[in-house]
């Protein structure tokens, strides 16, 4: 089970994604979709928008936090929307929690 947690504020946001969708490593499309989206959001915030962030990633775990930028927070809101749709399509593989 993948568990995603978002904390969304006006000019700050953070997310934690942990766990696995339950398929075989390298072949699970749900896990790949979540991982790819999380990395794209983090890279957009840091490399395109140039916002400093705190980040940690390892097997089955990613944490990302940024503040001081509404645009960066909006990117994370977009990620939350994307993961929420994936969770609706795969409720047995993804659980999501959002704090605003």
What is the set of domains in the chain, with CATH numbers? 2-99 (3.30.70.1490)
pTM: 0.93
Residue 20: pLDDT band with limits 50, 70, 90 = confident
User: For residue 36, what is the enclosing H or E element?
Assistant: helix 29-43
Strand partners, 2: 19, 94
**Higher pLDDT residue, 36 or 20?**
36
For 46-67, write each residue's pLDDT tens digit: 999 999 999 999 989 999 999 9
pLDDT digits (tens, 9 = 90+) for 23-47: 766 678 999 999 999 999 999 999 9
CA-based torsion, 57, 6, 3, 40: positive or negative: negative
Whether the CB-CB separation of 28 and 17 falls below 8 Å is answered with: no
- How far CA 81 is from CA of 12, 24, 67, 88, 98, in Å, comes to 16, 26, 19, 11, 10
What's the average model confidence in pLDDT over 59-84?
A: 97
């Amino acid at each position: 089970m993948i568990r995603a947690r978002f904390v969304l504020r006006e000019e700050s946001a953070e997310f934690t994604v942990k766990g696995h969708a339950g398929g075989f490593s390298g072949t699970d499309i749900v896990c790949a979709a979540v991982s790819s989206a999380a990395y794209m959001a983090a890279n957009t915030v840091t490399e395109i928008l140039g916002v400093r962030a705190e980040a940690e990633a390892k097997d089955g775990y990613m944490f990302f936090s940024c503040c001081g930028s509404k645009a960066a927070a909006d990117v994370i809101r977009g990620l939350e929307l994307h993961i929420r749709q994936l969770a609706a399509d795969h409720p047995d593989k993804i659980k999501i929690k959002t704090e605003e």
